[in-house]
Amino acid sequence: MVKDYCIFAYKFKNMTLLLITYQDVAVPVTILLLGGITWLIFEFREMKALFKERLGLNNETIKLRLQAYERLTLFAERAAFKNLVSRTPYNDISILELQLTLIQTLRSEYEYNTSQQVYVSGDMWRAIGNLKDQNIYIINQVAATLPSQGPAIDLSKRLLEYASINPQAEMSALVLDALQIEAKKIL
């Protein structure tokens, strides 16, 4: 009968000195097993909390990056000649004054968005800078063909004509496409 429930028995000269049964082992093993399960539950809870925390940070970063793309999209839209000219009042001012106003508008909007370069690729930020520089260059080139004290409406017309005749020179559309492609990569 001892053999049915005996795990280990040590006998010395026909005497059983040590007898370990299943009942003797069951209680400590059960306690160890429950302790291990409890420890695993707490570890998984901590891992879950850490995962949620990291996921939250990633979501916040994604939100900031998407906001940067939104702001730069707005800049690219506003830098397009048709929008830039239509937003700028040009009644009773000269070509030179309009030229300086348009350039100042582009520069100030660019400077307003400089913090967004942290959230976009280097290539994208260079494209934004090139858009500003190219538009300033075109404004200066078109203005140089006109008398500086002439009516500002002449410069407005010429810029709009230039944008409509040379659609590939309008870099805003290219930058907008690139912004859209990069923003979709984030999503």
Q: Tens of pLDDT along 42-82?
A: 999 888 888 776 665 567 788 899 999 999 999 999 999 99
Query: C-alpha 85: how far from its chain's center?
Result: 31
pLDDT in tens, 83-92: 999 998 888 8
pLDDT in tens, 100-147: 999 999 999 999 999 999 999 999 999 999 999 999 999 999 999 999
User: Domain total for the chain?
Assistant: 1
Q: What is the pLDDT of residue 1?
A: 44
Domain assignment present for residue 39? The answer is: no
Full residue range of the structural domain in which residue 143 is found: 68-186
The CATH number of residue 126's host domain is 1.20.120
Domain assignment present for residue 61? The answer is: no
Q: Is the pTM above the cut of 0.85?
A: no
Sign of dihedral through CA atoms 116, 117, 119, 124? Answer: positive
